[in-house]
A = this chain, B = another copy of it.
Amino acid sequence: MDISLKTSITLIGAGNLGYHLGRRLHATGAEIRQVFSREAAKAEELARATGAQPVSQLEEVKSGAGLYILAVSDGAIAQVAATLQQHLPANSAVVHTSGATPSTVLAPYFPKHGIFYPLQTFSRSREPDFSTIPICIYSPDEELEGQLAALGRQLSHSVHRIDDEQRAILHVAAVFVNNFANHLFHIGHTILKEEKLPFELLLPLIRETVDKIETNRPEDMQTGPARRRDQETINRHLAYLKKFPNFAEVYRALTKNIGEMYR
């Protein structure tokens, strides 16, 4: 029997993650009791979509929910927990959804605490496919951890117990493959825009770059002037990049690092 389906949830935060997570939890049968957002309109929108009560003051968050999910920014987690502690029962189960913040920030406020971290980037306008999103769960409380695992499986077939240290590492890696990769796409976009060439020219290449590593190790797929130490082409590229000195710096750092990796 699925414990999670019986767990009522209060969701603190209605940003990109809270918005999609709340809607998906509701769709899979979870009871969402309350939705908190400091922006009343956001709380109301998500509450409507999930059959929950909207609240815009933390003091209005009621006791009695089986699980409190904090989907707020990293910097706000501790303070929100401190405020909730003042009027929620001490044995309330409280988790946060961040990859970058240890579970221990919740410990001073709620002994029953943990992590429910969907490893994905969320945008308001894009409907995520939760079934493939790795859900990283963790709690020092065994019962709560079991509950989080069940809730994870309700959303996704990819649920993983990831402790604080592992999750911190995962988050660093995620910054490389998501934030930094996106920035390289931004650089490509900027260069082509400057030269009045359509960005669409690069999309099949970008798509294939990613398709390849679904079935191959990235290191085996590397090509290009840095990999083959083609200094003539590298110099030509750097000469062109004189008009984008910031990009030249990134070019140099990555070319150097690729050279070091294939010694």
Contacts and interface: CB of A to CB of B under 8 A. Distances in A.
Interface of A: 74-75, 100, 119-121, 123, 126, 128, 132-134, 136, 158, 160, 162, 166, 168-192, 195, 197, 200-214, 216-219, 221-227, 230, 232-233, 236-237, 240-241, 246-247, 249-254, 256-258, 260-261
Given A176-B187, A205-B120, A206-B181, A166 B197 contact: yes
Of A169, A176, A254, chain B has the most CB atoms within 10 Å of the CB of A176
A119 B182 contact: no
Contact of A121 (B74, B212, B233, B261): B212
Tally of this chain's copies: 2
A220 to B, nearest CB: 9
Contacts of A178: 205-206, 209, 223-224
B241 A172 contact: yes
Contacts of A123: 212, 216, 221
A240 B256 CA distance: 21
A197 B213 contact: no
Given A178-B224, A179-B222, A246-B257, A191 B172 contact: yes
Given A223-B179, A230-B74, A189 B217 contact: yes
Given A176-B187, A179-B225, A246-B261, 15 more contacts: A100-B230, A100-B236, A121-B205, A134-B204, A169-B192, A170-B197, A172-B241, A173-B191, A177-B205, A180-B251, A181-B185, A182-B212, A182-B218, A182-B222, A210-B210
Contacts of A261: 183, 186, 246
Contact of A201 (B160, B188, B219): B160
B169 A177 contact: no
Contacts of A183: 218, 222, 226, 254, 257-258, 261
A136 B75 CA distance: 48
Given A182-B221, A224-B178, A201 B170 contact: yes
A233 B197 contact: no
A195 B214 contact: no
A203 B197 CA distance: 30
Contact of A174 (B100, B169, B205, B217): B205
A212 B160 CA distance: 25
Given A121-B212, A197-B166, A250-B254, A177 B173 contact: no
26 contacts: A74-B233, A75-B230, A100-B233, A119-B204, A120-B205, A121-B212, A121-B221, A123-B216, A128-B208, A158-B201, A158-B204, A169-B192, A170-B201, A173-B188, A175-B225, A176-B191, A177-B209, A179-B227, A180-B254, A183-B222, A183-B257, A185-B213, A186-B219, A207-B210, A249-B256, A252-B253
